[in-house]
């Protein structure tokens, strides 16, 4: 007997169908508890390889491994039930050949049960995107500032600031669309360029430091919560979670030191 899941997750084709409609809301998520909270409000959760910098203290996303992505992907899939979960392919896991990309993407899908993967690159990744989509793996593309290329780009710089630099980025957008990507992240690019790409493509554009006119937006959750020590200028902080955590930890430390810590209920029964 087949068991129907009660709540159906948003799918990659459902995200594509939102092109030009109600803006697509998304955030990164790396753990199950924050995924559970965000799941109520977002259309997709991205297990971004930014977790290497945000959670693990690396300077770039380059040291992130496939195992690390799978571990966080499992946590986010367990914590959420409604949003599409997209897991980033880390640096070194897909660039070499479409076949290697498929093997690693299939591992991500099998071991996390996420609904799609994301990889960075435009024209140069078109053949790989096509290969994965043809074999049943929905791919979100990522162009503009592609942080895994930080050493080639010479830093985390916004792209396409001068109009004469737009052509290759527009070509990247068309190439990933023709290859079968279901949506494309536009990271750190001049707003008029992001608008032009959004108008030109039949698939949704998801902006981060790009333009409010993109079909959707994504932010790193810790950045918008006010938990990251440094954030890019375009990030609006919607909370002061870092300050709240520090306040709570300070109060706890004060209570322990004064021996007024309320730890005298000798039971592990849960509070109502
Ligand atoms: O890794 C990540 O968090 C990302 C987003 C910034 C789009 O790729």
pLDDT tens for 174-219 read 999 999 999 999 999 999 999 999 999 999 999 999 999 999 999 9
Per-domain residue ranges of the chain: 12-239
Helix axes 98-112, 66-79, angle to 10 degrees: 40
Per-residue pLDDT, 155: 87
**pTM for the full model?**
0.95
Q: 12-239 — its CATH code?
A: 3.20.20.60
C-alpha of residue 27 to centroid of ligand 1, in Å: 9
How far is 116 from 105, CA to CA, in rounded Å? 9
- SS3 category, 3: coil
Give the mean pLDDT of the chain.
Answer: 94
pLDDT tens for 8-47 read 899 999 999 999 999 999 999 999 999 999 999 999 999 9
How far is 179 from 29, CA to CA, in rounded Å? 27
Nearest CA, atom 5, ligand 1: 48
Give me the catalytic one of 111, 113, 120, 187.
Answer: 187
**Residues in a beta bridge with 207:** 186, 217
């Amino acid at each position: 007997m087949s068991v129907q899941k009660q709540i159906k997750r948003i799918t990659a084709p459902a995200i594509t169908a939102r092109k030009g409609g109600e803006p697509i809301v998304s955030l990164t998520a790396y753990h199950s508890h924050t995924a559970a909270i965000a799941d109520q409000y977002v259309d997709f959760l991205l297990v971004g390889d930014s977790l290497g910098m945000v959670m693990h203290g690396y300077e770039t996303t380059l040291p992130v491994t496939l195992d690390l992505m799978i571990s966080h992907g499992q946590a986010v899939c367990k914590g959420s039930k409604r949003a599409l979960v997209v897991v980033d392919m880390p640096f070194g896991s897909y660039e070499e050949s479409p076949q290697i990309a498929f093997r690693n993407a299939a591992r991500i899908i099998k071991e996390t049960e996420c609904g799609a993967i994301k990889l960075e690159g435009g024209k140069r990744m078109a053949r790989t995107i096509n290969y994965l989509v043809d074999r049943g793996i929905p791919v979100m593309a990522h162009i503009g500032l592609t942080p895994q290329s930080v050493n080639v780009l010479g830093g985390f710089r916004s792209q396409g600031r001068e109009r004469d630099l737009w052509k290759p980025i527009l070509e990247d957008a068309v190439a990933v669309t023709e290859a079968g990507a279901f949506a494309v992240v536009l990271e750190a690019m001049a707003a008029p360029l992001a608008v032009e790409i959004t108008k030109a493509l039949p698939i949704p554009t998801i902006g981060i430091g790009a333009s409010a006119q993109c079909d959707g937006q994504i932010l790193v959750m810790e950045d918008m919560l006010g938990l990251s020590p440094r954030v890019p200028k375009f990030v609006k902080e919607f909370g002061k979670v870092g300050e709240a955590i520090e306040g709570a930890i300070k109060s706890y430390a004060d209570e322990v030191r004064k021996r007024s810590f309320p730890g005298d209920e000798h039971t592990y029964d849960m509070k109502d």
